[in-house]
Amino acid sequence: MSFDETLVRERSLWLDGLPGRIEPRPALAGDADCDVAIVGGGFTGLWTAYCLLDLDPSLRVRLVEREICGFGASGRNGGWISAGIAGVHETWAERSGEDAVRRAERATWEAVDWIGERAAAEGIDCGFAKGGILSIARSEAQAERIRAHVEHDRQWGWGEEDSRILSPYETESRVTASDVVCASYSPHGARVNPARLARGLADAVERKGGVIHEQTAARFIEPGRVVTDHGTIRAAHVVRATEAFTVQLPGQHRTYLPLYSLMIATEPLPSTVWQALGWEGRETISDGHHLFFYAQRTTDDRIAIGGRGAPYGLGSPVDPRYERHDGVRERLTRTLYDTFPAVRGARITHHWGGALGVPRDWCMTVQHDPTTGLAFAGGYSGHGVAAASLSGRTLADLILRRDTDLTAMPWVGHPLRPWEPEPLRWVASRAIVGIMGSSDRVEDRGGQTARRMRIIRPFLAH
Ligand X SMILES: Cc1cc2nc3c(=O)[nH]c(=O)nc-3n(C[C@H](O)[C@H](O)[C@H](O)COP(=O)(O)OP(=O)(O)OC[C@H]3O[C@@H](n4cnc5c(N)ncnc54)[C@H](O)[C@@H]3O)c2cc1C
Binding footprint of ligand X on the chain (CB under 6 A)? 39-45, 64-67, 71-74, 76-80, 82, 217-218, 241-245, 261, 263, 294, 306, 353-356, 378, 380, 382-386, 388
| Closest distance of CB 168 from ligand X, Å | 26
Nearer to ligand X, 66 or 89 (CB): 66
Instruction: Note the helical H segments in 122-211.
Output: 140-155, 168-172, 194-207
Sequence-distant (≥ 6) Cβ neighbours of residue 442 within 8 angstroms: 448, 449, 452
Nearer to ligand X, 101 or 310 (CB): 310
The helix (run of H) or strand (run of E) holding residue 116 is helix 98-121
| Closest distance of CB 185 from ligand X, Å | 17
| Closest distance of CB 122 from ligand X, Å | 17
**Angle in degrees, CA 152, 154, 156, rounded to 5:** 75
Nearer to ligand X, 80 or 158 (CB): 80
CA-based R_g, the chain, Å: 21
Coarse DSSP helix, strand, coil percentages of the chain, rounded to the nearest 5 percent:
40, 20, 40
| Closest distance of CB 153 from ligand X, Å | 18
Of the candidates 137, 232, 210, the residue with the CA atom closest to the CA atom of residue 177: 137
Cβ atoms within 10 A of the Cβ of 307, count?
A: 23
- Quote the CA–CA distance of 382 and 384 in Å, as a whole number: 6
Return the beta strands (E) in 256-409 as ranges: 257-266, 284-287, 293-297, 303-307, 348-358, 365-368, 374-378
Nearer to ligand X, 278 or 384 (CB): 384
| Closest distance of CB 284 from ligand X, Å | 7
Amino acid at 287: D
Nearer to ligand X, 273 or 310 (CB): 310
Question: Do residues 202 and 2 touch, judged by C-beta distance below 8 A?
Answer: no
Of the candidates 204, 200, 227, the residue with the CA atom closest to the CA atom of residue 49: 204
Prior bond to 168 cis, omega within 30? no
Which residue's C-beta sits nearest to ligand X?
384
First to last CA, the chain: 43
Nearer to ligand X, 40 or 342 (CB): 40
Nearer to ligand X, 245 or 426 (CB): 245
| Closest distance of CB 216 from ligand X, Å | 6
- Quote the CA–CA distance of 214 and 136 in Å, as a whole number: 41
| Closest distance of CB 274 from ligand X, Å | 22
| Closest distance of CB 450 from ligand X, Å | 27
| Closest distance of CB 2 from ligand X, Å | 17
